[in-house]
A and B are shown apart, each in its own frame.
Chain A
Amino acid sequence: MIGFPFLALHVKVTLITSREEIYPYVLHRTCGRNLTRNPRCSSRTLSKLRRAVPEVEADVNAVDVRGLSRSFDGREILRDVSFTVGHGEIFGYLGPNGAGKTTTIRILLGLLAPGAGEVRVLGRDLAADDDARARVGVLFENNGLADRMSAADNLAYYAGLYGVEDPAARIDELLALVDLADRRDDPVGTFSTGMKRKLGIARAILHRPEVVFLDEPSSGLDPGAQRMVRDLIVELSRREEMTVFLNSHHLDEVQRICSTVAILAGGRIRAFDSVANLTASSGRPAVTVSLADPGERARACETAGNLPYVTECDADGNSLLCTIADPGATPDLIAALVGAGFRIEEVRRSSRSLEEIYLEHVGQAEGGA
């Protein structure tokens, strides 16, 4: 619908003035956020708009998935999947094997067509937009490296494909960042799994993408290398303001570094929220009370259970897990237990781990299936 007025305005404004600050501003004001979805709006125009009108950037999510469905050979893999990822976020996409995580990434990257629904990365359809693909980086399981070429040659190849400016300096910078500067001329085939992974990450961010998709970046790595990859992801998000779309099975890793997660199971999004909200939303506030004498657990549990604001109390190892009606009642609980003569070693608010939440949602999905 807006195609014709947009084109008319485009011609008109180009004829009237070539001043860049007026041109994109008028376009933005006239077409609003629809402009970013207009296939006739080239990436170059969009880039101009972004520079000139900061609101445009705010209008467009880094990743936007709406009502996405996809079937293979009559089997429905994704059903009405919707989520968004904001700029600069580290987003964790979780789900069991075969849940459709890689299919989602492939659809986002334009490698597969969506069956139904709409996907956008930086407001663009990557399947149809070569320029937009230059603003996105990707690391699949295979790292995308040629074993017979050296580390530097592999990076130089991708630098050529992405049109990286001053590739030699950028390659040196990245090889130093991933601690492979001394192996720059060695064939990648002689590298360990961890070294290949690090080089794969360097390759994925070589062209300074705005969004980077990382598919299981720390799989097959030793704990030291996993930590290095984790730190690198956080550093990239912070220093280069990169949006990171992380597909991972390492729930501990996701909980540590991701700001937002979506849990995919049975082809549907089962949870989509910030990590803080998800782990805090156990439904009922609870506190864990560790006793100095574990032999007193049963008696302490009975005492706590009789308190009016304690709805449930279970002995859990050397501790009591008390579910309370009101989080503000925690000091009263501690006072009551101390008053009853119990020696308390530690009290902490109980929050669920991402792993518990994940297993709960996946379990529900499997039960439902």
Chain B
Amino acid sequence: MSTLAVIARREIRLALRNRGALITALIFSVWFPVMSALSIAVGAGGDTAAVAGGIAAITLPVGVFMGYIFCADAFLREKRDGTIETLLCAPVSLRRLWEGKAIGVTVPAYVMMLLSAVASIAAIAGLTGVSVSAEPLLLLHFVAVVPIWIGASAGLIGAAQLALGMRENQILGFVFIFGFIFLIGGLQAVMSGGPGISATMEGVLAAVGLALLGLARAIAGKVTKERIVRTIP
């Protein structure tokens, strides 16, 4: 098994054993979309495209927020406990460590987002009788756009958590997550040509997500071991 897989696997296992984070993620991934489903059902009426657009609009920020929740365990806890210092002495590059952790955060966050999507679709189907589970653009949204954004947010937040001190992280964590959510909301508002899901919107979201992923990778490449060690509390 490659070191990347070893690191990612460990982070996934740790995330699945973190009851606090799992309960928070579960509540948020079910409660928020189910509550939003009511307004989507009312606003969209029986329009399948509008329902799919509403679900896509909800699940992206949910996925990003899930990434933020699991990042705290994979990056911040490791730094707070000082165990990151031992990992930095392993024969693994810092970039590889960051990549493994980012993947390890993305996987459980993505699973939670899928749970959230299933809950939304089920709730709306129950309320309106409209089923969007076979909507191709919505499937593309779940398969490509959302994981890219989760990976980008997890990578960026993780790199920031490695590079910044504890107090800075407390403040900037919220800045990052709300920055992402406002960015998603802004893009959806600017690109939206009306209710519903569109290929243009998904393409723009995927492109911006990839750009953010590249930015996260570039920023992670600038983080040094010295910076990490000197900001361990």
User: Which residues of A does B touch, CB under 8 Å?
Assistant: 72, 106, 109-113, 126-127, 130-131, 133-134, 136, 138-146, 148-149, 153, 157-158, 160-163, 203
Contact = CB atoms under 8 A, between A and B. Distances in A.
Contacts, number: 75
Interface in B118-169: none
Given A149-B17, A160-B3, A161-B3, A141 B89 contact: no
Contact of A112 (B10, B81, B226): B226
A146 B7 CA distance: 13
A136 B91 CA distance: 9
Given A106-B229, A146-B83, A133 B90 contact: yes
A160 B6 CA distance: 6
B89 A136 contact: yes
Contact of A144 (B83, B226, B230): B83
A133 B18 CA distance: 31
A149 B13 contact: yes
Contacts of A157: 6, 10
B99 to A, nearest CB: 14
Given A133-B91, A148-B14, A161-B91, A142 B86 contact: yes
Contact of B14 (A110, A142, A146, A160): A146
B82 interface: yes
Contacts of B6: 157, 160-161
A106 B10 CA distance: 25
Given A110-B225, A140-B82, A157-B6, A149 B14 contact: yes
Contacts of B18: 148
Contacts of A142: 81-83, 85-86
A144 B91 contact: no
Interface residues on B, range: 20 to 34
A161 B82 contact: no
B222 to A, nearest CB: 15
A143 B84 CA distance: 11
A131 B17 CA distance: 32
Interface string B68-100: 000000000000011101111111110000000
A148 B225 contact: no
A131 B93 CA distance: 10
B91 A130 contact: yes
Interface SS of chain B: helix
A153 B13 contact: yes
A153 B167 CA distance: 32
Contacts of B230: 72, 112
A144 B86 contact: yes
Nearest to B228: A111
A140 B85 contact: yes
Contact of A130 (B17, B85, B92): B92
Contacts of A134: 91
A175 B168 CA distance: 40
Q: Which of B82, B87, B90, B225 has the most CB of A within 10 A?
A: B90
A162 B18 CA distance: 26
Contact of B92 (A109, A110, A161): A161
Given A111-B225, A145-B83, A153-B13, A131 B91 contact: yes
Contacts of A144: 83, 85-87
A64 B3 CA distance: 30
B1 interface: yes
A130 B96 CA distance: 12
3 closest Cβ contacts across the A-B interface? A144-B86, A160-B6, A134-B91
B10 A138 contact: no
Contacts of B229: 106, 111-112
Given A142-B83, A157-B6, A133 B14 contact: no
Nearest to B10: A157
Nearest to B2: A160
Nearest to B83: A144
Contacts of A112: 225-226, 229-230
Interface in B53-72: none
Contacts of B91: 130-131, 133-134, 161-163
Given A72-B230, A161-B91, 12 more contacts: A111-B225, A111-B226, A112-B225, A133-B89, A142-B81, A143-B86, A144-B87, A158-B90, A160-B6, A161-B92, A162-B91, A163-B91
